[in-house]
Structure 1
Amino acid sequence: MVAPVIVVVEDETSLRRDMVEYLRSCGFDALGARNGQELDEHAAVKPVSLVILDVNLPGEDGFKIASRLRENRDLGVIMVTARGSTVDRVVGLEIGADAYLVKPVEMRELEAQVKALLRRLESSEAKPAQAAPSAPAEEAGEEGRWALDATEWSLTSPAGVRISLTSMEMKLASLLAAQARQPATRDQISMALYSRRWNPEDRSIDTVVGRLRHKIEAAIGGTAPLKSVHGVGYVFSAQVRVL
Structure 2
Amino acid sequence: MNSPDGQDNSATVLIVDDDDDIRTLLGEYLRLHGFDTLEAAQGPQMQAILAEAQVDLVVLDLNLPGEDGLSLCRRIRAESTLPVIMLTAKTAPLDRVLGLETGADDYVCKPFEPLELLSRIRSVLRRTRLQNDSQPHSTTPVKLRFAEWELDLVARHLCSPEGTVVSLSGSEFRLLKIFLDRPNRVLNRDQLMDMIHGRDAGPFDRSIDLQISRIRQKIEVDSKNPQIIKTVRNEGYVLSAPVEVVAE
- TM superposition score normalised by structure 1: 0.63
1:233 equivalent in alignment to 2:240: no
Q: What amino acid is the match of 1:67? A: R
CA displacement 1:184-236 (0-9 Å, x = unmatched): xxxxxx99625xxxxxxxxx9764435xx5xxxxxxxxxxxx54358722414
Q: Secondary structure at the match of 1:47?
A: coil
Partner of 1:72: 79
Residue-by-residue CA offset, 1:138-179 (whole Å, 9 max, x unaligned): xxxxxx799xxxxxxxxxx7x975959655666677689888
What amino acid is aligned across from residue 79 of structure 1 in structure 2?
A: M
- Give, in whole Å, the separation in 2 of the partners of 1:128 and 1:41: 29
| Paired letter, 1:73 | S
Structure 1 residues 44, 193: CA separation in 2 closer, same or farther (over 3 Å shift)? same
The gaps in structure 2 that reach 5 residues or longer are 2-8, 139-143, 157-167, 187-205, 229-238
Map 1:78-227 → 2, pairs under 5 A: 78-127=85-134, 163=156, 166-167=170-171, 180=184, 193=209, 207-210=214-217, 226-227=219-220
Contact 1:8-1:30 at 8 Å conserved across structures:
yes
* 8 Å Cα contact 2:183-2:243 kept in structure 1: no
C-alpha deviation, 1:42, in angstroms: 1.5
Q: 1:120 to 1:165 in 2, by over 3 A?
A: farther
Is structure 2 residue 61 aligned with structure 1 residue 54? yes
Q: Secondary structure at the match of 1:233?
A: coil
Question: Which amino acid is 1:193 matched to?
Answer: D
Indicate the residue corresponding to 1:29 in structure 2: 36
Report the counterpart of residue 6 of structure 1 in structure 2.
13
Kept in 2, the 8 Å contact 1:180–1:239? The answer is no
CA contact (8 A) 1:93 1:167 kept: no
Q: Are the structure 2 counterparts of residues 77 and 24 from structure 1 closer, same or farther at C-alpha, using a change threshold of 3 Å?
A: same
Aligned-partner Cα distance in 1 for 2:106–2:63:
16
Residue 111 of structure 1, CA deviation: 0.7
Distance 1:19 1:59, change over 3 A: same
> What letter is aligned with 2:184?
A
Identity of aligned residues (%): 32
Cα RMSD (Å) of the superposition?
3.9
The letter for the 1-side match of 2:65 is P
For 1:228, what is the secondary structure of its paired residue? coil
Query: Shift in Å at residue 5 of structure 1?
Result: 1.5
Secondary structure of the 2:221 match is strand
Kindly tell me the number of residue pairs found equivalent between the two proteins.
188
In 2: Cα distance, 1:6 partner to 1:93 partner: 19
